Amino acid sequence: MLTLSLLRHTKSSWKGPTQDDYDRSLASRGEAEAPRMGNAMAKRGIEPELVLCSSARRTRETLALVLPELKAEPKVIYAESLYHAAPASILQTLQGIGAGVSQVLLVGHNPVLHALALDLVGSGPKHMRDRLAAKLPTGGLVVITFPVGLWKDIAVNTGQLTVFLTPREVEKT
């Protein structure tokens, strides 16, 4: 079984008139949310062996605050191609992951992460699927499992939604 965790970057600052969207940093709220999401991941046994992270500033900052909370130190790949990539392109990237990696964390942006999650999820608790269909907020975590052994075999509508967490939910626990 393979596990894919999708983490939308936490709350970012507003883009200034001279600031490029790619260079936006986290807001103070996002700086507080990221470690809590990392802690929530660790408590749920989410231990990625590989992290694929958009190279945009806010995703890198989110990941830097999540990683210390995880139990293991995964291999991290920063990719500019994940910034504004199409869901089909990200699926191809995932399908290219070699054998021996069973848990992957992808840190990225909306609307792409939301669309990718909706494409991949074919089953799971209805209340979670309905919540996910409505919105993937900043800092939102989606965990999808696939009943296959190789990443090349994951496909649209074949994943099971097992976790959908938001920073607000984690804050309450």
The residues near 7 (Cβ < 8 Å, ≥ 6 apart) are 37, 62, 66, 105, 106, 107, 108, 139, 140, 141, 142
∠ CA(91), CA(36), CA(5), 5° rounding? 15
d(C-alpha 151, C-alpha 144), whole Å: 13
The phi and psi torsions of 140 (rounded to 5 degrees) equal -65, 140
**Quick one: pLDDT at residue 171?**
80
Q: Could you read off the pLDDT of 19-69 as tens digits, one per residue?
A: 788 888 999 999 999 999 999 999 999 999 999 999 999 999 999 999 999
pLDDT bin (cut points 50, 70, 90) of residue 168 is very high
Domains and CATH numbers, the chain: 2-172 (3.40.50.1240)
pLDDT bin (cut points 50, 70, 90) of residue 135 is very high
Instruction: Report which residue type is found at 28.
Output: S
